[in-house]
Every structure is written in C-alpha cells, then in structure tokens.
Amino acid sequence: MNKQLIIAHRGESYLAPENTLTAINLAWELGADAIEVDIRLTKDKQIAVFHDANTKRITGRYKRIKNTNLEELQKLDAGKYKSEKYIGEKIPTLGEVLKTVPDGKKILIEIKSGREIIPFLNGVIKESKLQENQIEIICFNLNVLKNVRKQTPQLPTFWILALDYYWIQKMVHPSISRIIQKASKHKLSGLDLWAGKRIDNKLLSKIKKANLRIYTWTVDNPEQAQNLLNMGVHGITTNRAGWMKDQLNKFQKTN
C-alpha cells in the first residue's frame, strides 16, 4: 500500500453529497484509492461523519452537532442541497462508513472535534474489521494528534497545514523546519498540506529527509495533480477522484 494515492475528499463529493454513504460508495466504485471524511462527536457521544460544526449549510436547518443527539441529526436531509435525486440522504456514523472500506483501500479520518472524541473513536475502530494500516488520522490540531499517539500509537497520524493561507494572511505560524521538528518529536507519520504555491521540490525534500509522508489537498486540476505526483507526494486529495484517476492515466499514456 505504498503507491501514490488518489484520495476522495469527503467521498466523491463533486458528484454526490459530501460525507454521505452515497458519495463514499461512489468513490469506491470509481476507483479511489482512499477516502477522506470528517468526524464530530454528538451530544450522545456518537461519531457523526460531518464537516461543519453545525448543519445549516448542508441541511438548511441549524443544529450544532455537539449539542444534538445522533437520532435527531439523522432526521435531517443531507442530500437535497446537492440535487433533488439525493433527497433523504442521511448523516452517517463513522461505523457505517468503516464498513464500506474495501480490502486494500484506506480511509483518512479528519478529527473536527477536540481530544474528547478519541476514546469513542478508538472504540468504533476496534469494532470495525479493518486492518490498522487501512486507517489514518488527520487533524489541524497538533494537541489532538499528540493525544491520538498516546492512546493509539499504532494508528498513522498526519498534521494538516495550510502554509499558503498562513503566509497570505500574515498569520503567526512555525517555520517548516519547526513544523518538521514537532512532527518528528511526536512521531507523526506525515504532513497533509494545502496544495498551494509554497509546495516545491525544496520543501518536499526537507520533509522527506525527516522520513515524513506527504499528502496534499484539495487538487481538482489534473496538471497540478500530475506535477505534485512527479515531485513525489504520497497522496492527492480531490473532490473528483474517479475523474482525476482517468485524467492522470491519460497523461501517462501520452508521455
């Protein structure tokens, strides 16, 4: 499982409602190597697969995930925003999503809650039949990743960073050398980087020298994807995984 991965961002989210079982199953059908999903802890300590802190953007109704029980969340329509044909789509649980992952494929789980979700996450993972090398944890919050490492050191962990955004907004952030130092100190598996202009061979070389893997997000342009793969990134996260694989195959045939 060391090949360069094409990762379906929230499932096949260009064609189907993000983070739903329909989008996830479609990603597998179209040949994605992995899927990426977001998780949040509900009021009754269930793990919902959902990106936002509240349901307004997707369902049209405002419910904060952490303040709402799963049963109530699953009464909301998570598909209509995308198309009439997806009316009735529900917010899935992580357990439901893990059951879809085929042999030899991966799931990247982005933790959107705080560290309080980790014991419940560990329980759901243990109940699944997936191999440990099929599950990877990603998060913007280094402290959450540190807690994942303490509680489940066998799970690969990736630190999500938006280097270009920090730079454009003139936000205070650690240098890449400091980022690498922190990732290595806490025994992270790699970095998951926003695919902006700051990603170049020099940057990737520094990261690889530290034996860290590199994923990039979110890439929907085939030429950009091919360029990143040529530079040696280990995975590309895209909203159009099936189409992207087809386009990259065409590039390889013509070169």
Q: Where are the domains of the chain?
A: 5-40+105-254
6-15 per-position pLDDT tens digit: 999 999 999 9
Tell me, yes or no, if 234 is annotated catalytic.
no
* Structure letter (DSSP) for residue 64: B
Q: Is the pLDDT of residue 170 over 90?
A: no
Three-state SS for 227? helix
Sign of the alpha-carbon dihedral angle for 177, 179, 185, 191: negative
Q: In the CATH hierarchy, which top-level class contains the domain 5-40+105-254?
A: alpha beta
> Beta strand pairing status for 34-41 and 190-194?
unpaired
Tell me, yes or no, if 173 is annotated catalytic.
no
172-185 per-position pLDDT tens digit: 678 899 999 999 99
Chain mean pLDDT for the chain: 96
Q: Which of 9, 173, 186, 234 is catalytic?
A: 9
Max distance between CA atoms of the chain, in angstroms, equals: 54
Q: What helix, strand, coil percent values describe the chain, rounded to 5?
A: 40, 20, 40
DSSP collapsed to 3 states, 36-47: EEEEEECCCCCE
Q: Which of 51, 173, 186, 234 is catalytic?
A: 51
User: How many whole angstroms separate alpha carbon 15 and alpha carbon 26?
Assistant: 9
